[in-house]
Structure 1
Amino acid sequence: MRLRKRPLTRALTCIKSEDARNERLGKAAGEINEKPAPEDSDASPSVRQVYQALVQTYGERNRRPTGRSVLEALVRTILSQNTTDKLSGAAYRALRSRYKDWADVLHAPVGEIEETIRIGGLARTKAQHIQDILRELEHNAATTGTDTDWTQGLEFLRNVPTAQVMEYLTRYPGVGPKTAACVAMFTLERDDSFPVDTHIFRLAKRLGWVPNGHTREQAQVDLENLIPSTLHYPMHILMIEHGRKVCTARGPRCQHCKLAGLGCPSATQDTESTPV
């Protein structure tokens, strides 16, 4: 599969300048004030309040360099789609154990790759997407006549703005805004990226941080603008942990949630009927 080429341009026009971000968040005297109330609630906890409560509950979350190439990070993130960390990790280990390098993965029968990564789910689709990306990288190296290893063909993304990283990666099949944002946040160590998974999406909606009717992709933009960039990494980790342990899809444990005491508009004693 050959990807249509186009120049790298800004892909996320909603990434604001710091001044615009500050105006929207209503910073004053170094404090982050509350976001205007969502349409269906009187008030929502501020980002700073939620962050402090989550840190009190789970502790600080500091960035840890992954040491991974951009290609490795992209493949790992594709394998993580619609499955658990445990299963996606097992799928990646199986892939790297069976094939000595990315060239072997590229030239293997797609059905063989599918069988290798089956434990991670959606194996046929993921196998095809991985090979499509590898094929494109090999083709790019051949047509440009570069002497570098084609498996390093994504490393240039370390030196371009995040908006261009997002546009470039989302050209590939199977790479949406969340997958691209994960690569940007964890491997490229960008503070202006905020991936939104199912746990973050659920928690943000319950807090009133995402307008009614917004999709997960729209929520990614909402939260990138709402949450200060310096908090993107720790808030991402903390919100996922809280979504898994307390603010669950079914039977959220509101009576044990510190955010309920901050005025979470979805907090209820009737935990079975709390909307997702």
Structure 2
Amino acid sequence: MGDPEPERNISGGETGGGEEHAFDPGTAGTRAEAVVDALGGLYWQKSYGGRDGFECLVRTILSQNTSDKASQPAHDALVDRYGGGDLVAALAEADQQELAETISAAGLYNQKSERIIAIAEGVREEYGGETGFDTFVKDGEPSEVRDRLLAFNGVGPKTADCVLLFAGGRGGVFPVDTHVHRIARRMGLAPADADHEEVREHLEAAVPAEKCGFGHTAMIQFGREYCSARKPACLDDPDACPLADHCDQIGVYPASGEVVDPAEASD
């Protein structure tokens, strides 16, 4: 097994979240599965689930448009101030300016605080509080849970899918953030002009359900370490990328040193 999952990241918990699981890397039926298997060998193979549904939702909202390094302190400060009881009730009744100050490390704190309070009010009204919402996330029909999450202002597909994965423990969910969106298209696992939802559909169709979770987290780590937006490791040295044999290098031109979004790549 490769490098351990970072102790604090979007999957939640001081150990990174999830439990170690081993999957046979010799049975890949698609290119996307082969890539995920390679990522599992490079980093980790895990199954996720078990996080508190509402806290996971809040944690993921805080992570929007910022890094884990910035959003984690905001999450910790929020839990320190409002945790200890029913987080839904505490945030539904929170003063917006006080909440904004509490989560200021995450950026866009005024917008995020308003949205978190509004969502907390909606969750309290519909599900009675933290326990009822957590039951819905874990036991409800996945498509119904996803649709309901998406109906909340400020919750997009990636946020909804992270809640389904890290709280609900749902198999076959492959959240697509900027790293996954870039890498899947650059490698040729999805059409070069595919949007986030189209990339998700391609990955979820090609990767076995039990491998989607660690495929998501490990691909993010790969994007941070090797396949960055502007300076992928292969740009100067093809051998510097451990997944070079799996990649179509869409939009990456080592000869000229140019890197463009895959959707803008020339034929």
Q: Specify which structure has the bigger relative contact order, considering alpha-carbon pairs within 8 angstroms and separated by 6 or more residues.
A: 1
Distance 1:50 1:171, change over 3 A: same
Q: Is the 8 A contact 1:158 1:188 kept in 2?
A: yes
Deviates more, 1:226-235 or 1:77-86: 226-235
1:61 aligns with 2:45: yes
Q: Is the 8 A contact 1:253 1:271 kept in 2?
A: no
User: Secondary structure in 1 aligned to 2:46?
Assistant: coil
Q: Is the 8 A contact 2:92 2:117 kept in 1?
A: yes
Q: Deviations over 1:56-76 (max 9, x none)?
A: 433x321255x4321111111
2:222 equivalent among 242, 249, 268: 242
1:261 maps to a residue whose letter is D
Distance 1:113 1:79, change over 3 A: same
1:263 deviation in Å? 4.8
2:241 equivalent among 232, 257, 271: 257
Equivalent position of 2:58 in the other structure? 75
1:74 maps to a residue whose letter is L
Q: Is the 8 A contact 1:73 1:183 kept in 2?
A: yes
1:241 maps to a residue whose letter is Q
Equivalent position of 1:192 in the other structure? 172
1:128 aligns with 2:114: yes
Distance 2:32 2:120 in 1: 40
Q: Is the 8 A contact 1:32 1:48 kept in 2?
A: yes
Distance 1:263 1:181, change over 3 A: closer
2:162 equivalent among 164, 182, 191: 182
Equivalent position of 1:23 in the other structure? none
User: Secondary structure in 1 aligned to 2:203?
Assistant: helix
- Aligned sequence identity (%): 35
Gaps of 5+ in 1: 1-29, 35-45, 142-148
Q: Deviations over 1:141-199 (max 9, x none)?
A: 5xxxxxxx523231223112211111111111111111010011111111121100111
- Number of paired residues? 227
Q: Is the 8 A contact 2:92 2:124 kept in 1?
A: no
Equivalent position of 1:48 in the other structure? 33
Equivalent position of 2:141 in the other structure? 161
Q: Is the 8 A contact 1:251 1:273 kept in 2?
A: no
Equivalent position of 1:145 in the other structure? none
Equivalent position of 1:90 in the other structure? 73
Q: Is the 8 A contact 2:164 2:173 kept in 1?
A: yes
Q: Is the 8 A contact 1:252 1:271 kept in 2?
A: no
Equivalent position of 1:117 in the other structure? 103
Equivalent position of 1:150 in the other structure? 129
1:105 deviation in Å? 2.5
Deviates more, 1:233-242 or 1:177-186: 233-242
Gaps of 5+ in 2: 1-25, 262-267
Distance 1:51 1:198, change over 3 A: same
1:33 deviation in Å? 4.3
TM-score (norm 1): 0.75
Distance 1:57 1:120 in 2: 30
Q: Is the 8 A contact 2:28 2:37 kept in 1?
A: no
Distance 1:271 1:131, change over 3 A: farther
Equivalent position of 2:5 in the other structure? none
Distance 1:243 1:55 in 2: 14
Which segments of structure 1 move beyond 6 Å, counting only runs of 4 or more? none
Deviates more, 1:264-273 or 1:93-102: 264-273
* Greater gyration radius: 1
1:237 maps to a residue whose letter is T
Distance 1:271 1:133 in 2: 48
Distance 2:117 2:32 in 1: 40
Equivalent position of 2:211 in the other structure? 231
Q: Deviations over 1:190-217 (max 9, x none)?
A: 1121100111111001011222322112
Distance 1:192 1:49, change over 3 A: closer
